[in-house]
Amino acid sequence: MPVVNLNVLRGEAEGGEYTEHFEVPYEDGMSLLDAIFWIREHQDPSFAVRYSCRSANACKECSALVDGKAGYLCSIRAVPDSEVKIEPLRALPWIKDLATGLE
């Protein structure tokens, strides 16, 4: 079964950061936000990510750095058997994991 390998910067502003690796089963058409939902459902419900519209690319709350480039997690498609690095946007106040303030 194909998987998506996510290396995600996690932690909290006051507790420091670390990178955690997740292997997520790939499904056709899944976005990186869908992959994070899988992690929250199956591995770590405490994983913090901000979102509202989930796919309309309208709320812009799921902004993150994906392999160093800013983008919206709900509109970036996962690629089977790929490896991707995801970090919170550095220009915004960091809260926890991928969640930032909405400045």
Judged by the rule CB under 6 A, the positions of this chain that interact with ligand FES are 51-54, 57-62, 72, 74
Q: Could you give the CA distance from residue 47 to residue 11 in angstroms, rounded to a whole number?
A: 9
If the CB atoms of residues 23 and 55 are measured against ligand FES, the closer one turns out to be: 55
Question: Cα 89 from chain centroid?
Answer: 11
If the CB atoms of residues 53 and 91 are measured against ligand FES, the closer one turns out to be: 53
* Residue 75 CB, nearest approach to ligand FES (Å): 6
If the CB atoms of residues 70 and 81 are measured against ligand FES, the closer one turns out to be: 70
* Residue 102 CB, nearest approach to ligand FES (Å): 12
Burial bucket for residue 65 (CB in 10 Å: 0-12, 13-18, 19+): middle
If the CB atoms of residues 54 and 85 are measured against ligand FES, the closer one turns out to be: 54
The tokens of 24 are what? 């997520």
CA distance readout (Å), 10 to 44, 47, 58, 70: 12, 8, 25, 17
* Residue 19 CB, nearest approach to ligand FES (Å): 22
